[in-house]
């Protein structure tokens, strides 16, 4: 991990102004996607709004918000689909917004998703700007917006909410706001099972920081060496130069805050999993049983590999199989590039866990692109490359990608859609 030093943090107002252009680009891309979806859906006699708010997971979330937990469906093959598989933060927010405003639960889910997607875009910008600069931050936001499955960011799903919590938790870790990082990690753990990735990032950063503190002090607590690296402080971080010293070990209160953050981070995920175990009477294994009813599990990618291999049994399927192989290879290659570019350790841990859980789970294979949506650090190498181009060329590339994403999103959502 590249050593990081600290500087003063901008207040909320200036920080938002710095992100304004990136957020404007994000809104433009998403507005184009919704417009193309509306036109495409109308041409097929469908409601774009229904596709965004009343399909697959969106229905399950609104049902939890309206009726609570306990609903399940038994399929003809014996599988049991229980709504206990869906983490509670999004339904809680839907229920809260429904109580405060004249909105249906589905409407509330759509509003939460739209607001969360903006928060996620801002968080991605904040992280990318911190590590690579303002221009790369804007490019990262646009690249996240133009992903082929970017339309999910505007659906009443939990991906946007989770990405917002994850991005700001990572930003808090990188800037030494330990209690904020722990709280956001706990909320991320109440949003999706992959909240474990945020917890892992916070824990890894915290433990590494404790180790650095220990190595930077002698037996009497004195610093070892004139430039011993310290943990991130209260402000945004930047790459240290050879002539700059880094802060010394933090005072005891900061070490306490860091320890409290490590304790706080896993409480969301652990609390929900233990509650499900208590409700099902299966203890810690209860949530795994619920996921098994959905044919979800972690098998190291064996089921996914068999699925891909099966595509090559026919000529048409071989093209799809080859596309999947290329896509998975691109994801792995991007992660390798992230490592070679020495991204901060929390980003590497977070992206690695999200990627591993997405690719190595035995869940429905069509959902894997959606499951990778929160892995935004994988986009940072591309954002850096895009930021180095001339503004006119990068804008043209972004525009072409936005059109392609909008068309694909409309086609996809009017077809099989995101399970």
Give me the pLDDT at residue 146, please. Answer: 96
Question: Which phi and psi angles does 73 have, rounded to 5°?
Answer: -125, 130
Residue 338 near residue 378, CB atoms below 8 Å: yes
- Cβ distance 319 to 158 under 8 Å? no
Residue 364 has which token pair?
Answer: 């429905």
CA–centroid distance for 192 within its chain: 10
80-82 vs 237-239, strand pairing mode? unpaired
Nearest residue to 201 (alpha-carbon basis) of 343, 369, 301: 343
374 touches 165 (CB < 8 A): no
Contact of 157 with 112, CB cutoff 8 Å = no
Name residues of the chain where pLDDT drops below 50.
1-8, 219-220, 222-246
- CA dist 12 and 184 (Å) reads 18
Q: Cα separation of 115 and 125, whole Å? A: 16
Phi/psi at 281 (5° precision):
75, 15
Task: For strands 72-74 and 80-82, give the pairing.
Answer: antiparallel
What's the token pair of residue 407? 């068309």
Whole-number pLDDT of residue 10: 58
Q: What is the DSSP letter of 265?
A: T
> Are residues 136 and 128 in contact, defined by beta-carbon separation less than 8 angstroms?
yes
Nearest to 166, CA basis, from 142, 202, 208: 202
- The pLDDT assigned to 238 comes to 43
Question: Nearest to residue 190, comparing CAs of 107, 264, 115?
Answer: 264
Distance between CA atoms of residues 281 and 413, nearest Å: 38
Q: How far apart are CA 364 and CA 387, in angstroms?
A: 35
Show Cβ contacts of residue 371 under 8 Å, excluding neighbours closer than 6 positions.
194, 354, 357, 358, 361, 363
In which residue are the tokens 């404007």 written? 24
Q: Which two tokens stand for residue 200?
A: 């892992």
Among 375, 363, 370, residue whose Cα is nearest residue 155: 370
CA distance 179 to 199: 13
- Residues 169, 206 contacting (CB under 8 angstroms): no
Kindly state the tokens that stand for 110. 């759509």
The pLDDT score that the predictor gives to residue 369 is 87
Provide the pLDDT for residue 11: 63
How many residues are there in the chain?
Answer: 419
Q: How many CB atoms lie within 10 A of CB 138?
A: 27
CA angle 117, 365, 144 (to 5 degrees): 25
φ, ψ of residue 368 to 5 degrees: the values are: -65, -40
Contact 172, 181 (CB under 8 A): yes
CA 366, 197, 183 angle in degrees (round to 5)? 125
> Residue 326 contacts by C-beta under 8 Å, 6 or more apart in sequence?
none
């Amino acid at each position: 991990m590249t050593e990081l030093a600290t500087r003063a943090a901008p207040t909320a107002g200036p920080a938002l102004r710095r992100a304004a252009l990136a957020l404007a680009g994000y809104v433009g891309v998403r507005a184009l996607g919704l417009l193309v979806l509306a036109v495409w859906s109308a041409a097929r006699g469908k409601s774009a709004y229904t596709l965004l708010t009343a399909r697959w997971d969106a229905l399950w979330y609104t049902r939890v918000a309206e009726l609570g937990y306990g609903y399940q469906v038994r399929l003809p093959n014996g599988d049991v689909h229980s709504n206990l598989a869906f983490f509670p933060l999004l339904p809680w927010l839907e229920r809260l917004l429904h109580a405060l405003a004249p909105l249906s639960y589905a409407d509330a889910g759509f509003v939460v998703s739209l607001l969360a997607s903006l928060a996620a875009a801002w968080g991605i910008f904040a992280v990318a700007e911190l590590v690579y600069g303002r221009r790369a931050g804007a490019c990262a936001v646009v690249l996240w917006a133009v992903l082929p499955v970017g339309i999910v960011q505007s659906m009443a799903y939990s991906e946007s909410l989770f990405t917002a919590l994850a991005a700001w938790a990572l930003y808090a870790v990188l800037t030494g706001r330990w209690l904020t990082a722990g709280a956001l990690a706990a909320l991320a753990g109440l949003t999706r099972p992959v909240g474990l990735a945020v917890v892992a990032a916070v824990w890894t950063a915290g433990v590494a920081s404790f180790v650095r503190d220990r190595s930077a002090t002698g037996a009497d607590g004195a610093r070892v060496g004139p430039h011993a690296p310290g943990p991130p402080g209260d402000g945004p971080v930047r790459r240290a130069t050879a002539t700059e010293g880094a802060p010394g070990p933090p005072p005891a209160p900061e070490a306490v805050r860091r320890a409290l953050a490590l304790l706080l981070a896993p409480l969301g995920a652990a609390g929900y999993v233990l509650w499900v175990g208590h409700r099902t009477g299966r203890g810690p294994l209860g949530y795994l049983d619920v996921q098994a009813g959905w044919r979800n599990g972690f098998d190291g990618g064996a089921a996914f590999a068999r699925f891909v291999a099966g595509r090559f049994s026919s000529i048409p399927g071989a093209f799809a199989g080859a596309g999947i192989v290329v896509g998975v290879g691109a994801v792995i290659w991007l992660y390798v590039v992230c490592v070679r570019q020495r991204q901060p350790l929390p980003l590497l841990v977070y992206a690695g866990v999200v990627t591993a859980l997405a690719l190595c789970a035995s869940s429905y294979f069509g959902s894997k692109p959606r499951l990778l949506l929160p892995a935004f650090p994988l986009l940072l190498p591309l954002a850096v490359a895009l930021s180095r181009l001339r503004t006119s060329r990068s804008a043209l590339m972004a525009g072409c990608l936005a059109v392609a994403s909008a068309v694909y999103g409309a086609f996809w959502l009017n077809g099989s859609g995101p399970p």
